[in-house]
Structure 1
């Protein structure tokens, strides 16, 4: 099969013909029809994820058609349209039994623990726990854009942040995760403030429901600006980028009893932000992690999409081919292209 492969961290990947994946008894093989290019893939390519073994095929947010089914799979058939969370649970540990596959201690992640979706085919084990049926009228590019950024934001806003109508929500970073969070929080009825350093991303954020935007490169104190706009601070604030500056700003902009949700990965030199713990204690703030979303939680999100409350296709910026994904991946840290880039041609 054709796939994008990197043989050294930080070295330009290549399109190669590689061996097709093997089918597990409890798994499926998916013919990939679309896959997103995500900042997490860039972190993996840079070597920030110690679990990746070389050579490696990146890609973890995808949608496609079931190509082959293992003999123990009960709920999925060849030809069905599916997607999958980027965190796959084992299905048998205490976390999985409690419905928390997103923190399974033996989880697998396509594009990290094994070869991913920058390829024609990708394997998914424990398919009955981890696969999600797609609505017939949802195109594959939209479905792929859900796989990491949108579902991660949905859980961060709805399940972890427990955002309510009328609350102030600050979103720091307007990439795919941040824009998704803005759309989701707005659909609930929250008042969203978007923060970024790129005017085109802030313009897109406003079109997706942000009631105010802040260009962090043009204000002296982001947290103070949010405190002023909200007359006391955000009820919920999300670091959707994963940077020490955005993490600290997110905590500093909260009102008493507020919630900071860390969504962006803090890796490499950004791994140890200087948390203002005195504020956390004095104002009884909550600091909450958010890591993916379980397959069974997709149904509520899909229902909101079918009703028209959520329109994730608005987040898609570019549709590219597999060869173009190499440049999109390797320049992700410096790219200013707004929205989600999705590979739709293999």
Structure 2
């Protein structure tokens, strides 16, 4: 008889059920991880509400997971029971045109654990299985809370690489959730000044403390484009990273980036969303744009190293930890309570832990 575990299953849009399901059985090439923490991402809300991959339900979501090795397949080299680990969530074929050209995130059969298919259940459960080659060890210098932030940090690292900010380049970050981490990475690259835009005063205060030279509260300064121009001597920013996922803020990003500057697209809009930009600017102003959708491969190793050596400390962004049983209510609270930034879920606790940051 199969061993059973608790898991939160999104069975249909707006229908989540805490169920007893079989503990995943691993192959010789897989590892079973006992979940310690799994962070809530905006995509988890999108899946819960049916905005994203409704055809893939039912699904155990959760992809920002950290835990310890419970079982290791016989081919899993260098992995032992009890090891503290995170794992690359990307599953790609390795043989299509994009994979062969080093673009694994564009793979024709691209999937992500806990996001894109019920055949790859995620971390809102007591256990999760992953390919052993996707596993990354987490050193003791990285505490458990920070270890749960490895996956979000990988996405920011990928965007930072694509944006490729120069030393002393001016950077605007639109959005101060994970946008704060984008700002921290820009600061590590020597960006100056760093400007963060949002309407949430608590998050803007956090951004000022962690990375920003200037903050713009759009509830007090509605013309954010003019303000960015003012702060950059009338030129505009060298780089603008959109981390909201709204067509209007994307339009603003293209207006506030300087001639020859670059817009980095990170915020995910609805597939049907449209925006209005001038092709004229791309020709005569030589503006550039690139997109970043996720971390992959050794982005995990790099994220862990940045955490290990305290180059990035995401702890102030972690608002609370909730029991697995409270996942659905926590998802809804994040939408309503804008003071919450990152919420972790744990199958090992029975009462909430509120962090005073």
Q: Structure 1-normalised TM-score? A: 0.90
The structure 1 residue matched to 2:245, chosen from 213, 233, 242, is 242
Deviates more, 1:65-74 or 1:96-105: 96-105
TM-aligned CA distance change 1:64 to 1:265, over 3 Å: same
Structure 2 counterpart SS, 1:251: helix
Aligned partners of 1:252 and 1:279 also within 8 Å: no
- Aligned residue pairs, count: 339
Structure 1 counterpart SS, 2:262: strand
In structure 1, what is the Cα distance between the partners aligned to 2:267 and 2:196? Answer: 15
In structure 2, what is the Cα distance between the partners aligned to 1:327 and 1:277? Answer: 44
In structure 2, what is the Cα distance between the partners aligned to 1:28 and 1:91? Answer: 20
Aligned partners of 2:150 and 2:300 also within 8 Å: no
In structure 1, what is the Cα distance between the partners aligned to 2:278 and 2:49? Answer: 29
Structure with greater Cα Rg: 2
Structure 2 counterpart SS, 1:237: strand
In structure 1, what is the Cα distance between the partners aligned to 2:24 and 2:110? Answer: 19
Q: Deviations over 1:129-185 (max 9, x none)?
A: x222211221222111221x221112212x10001221111111111x211111111
Gaps of 5+ in 2: 349-357
Aligned partners of 2:150 and 2:304 also within 8 Å: no
Aligned partners of 1:5 and 1:14 also within 8 Å: yes
Is 1:105 aligned to residue 111 of structure 2? Answer: no
Structure 2 counterpart SS, 1:328: helix
Aligned partners of 1:145 and 1:312 also within 8 Å: yes
Structure 2 counterpart SS, 1:341: strand
Deviates more, 1:80-89 or 1:193-202: 80-89
In structure 2, what is the Cα distance between the partners aligned to 1:326 and 1:100? Answer: 35
TM-aligned CA distance change 1:223 to 1:189, over 3 Å: same
The structure 2 residue matched to 1:124, chosen from 114, 130, 141, is 130
- Per the alignment, residue 251 of structure 1 pairs with 254
Structure scoring higher RCO (CA < 8 A, sep ≥ 6) equals 1
The structure 2 residue matched to 1:115, chosen from 110, 116, 121, is 121
Deviates more, 1:61-70 or 1:330-339: 330-339
Q: CA deviation at 1:124?
A: 1.5
Q: CA deviation at 1:201?
A: 0.8
Deviates more, 1:234-243 or 1:275-284: 275-284
Deviates more, 1:70-79 or 1:215-224: 70-79
Q: CA deviation at 1:304?
A: 3.1
Over the residues paired in the alignment, what is the CA RMSD in angstroms? 2.1
Matches within 5 A, 1:1-346: 1-11=5-15, 13-50=16-53, 52-112=55-115, 113=117, 114-125=120-131, 127-128=132-133, 130-147=134-151, 149-157=152-160, 159-175=161-177, 177-190=178-191, 191-231=193-233, 232-267=235-270, 271-346=273-348
- Runs of 4+ more than 6 Å apart: none
Q: Structure 2-normalised TM-score? A: 0.88
Aligned partners of 2:157 and 2:303 also within 8 Å: yes
In structure 2, what is the Cα distance between the partners aligned to 1:230 and 1:338? Answer: 31
Aligned partners of 2:126 and 2:347 also within 8 Å: no
Aligned partners of 2:150 and 2:303 also within 8 Å: no
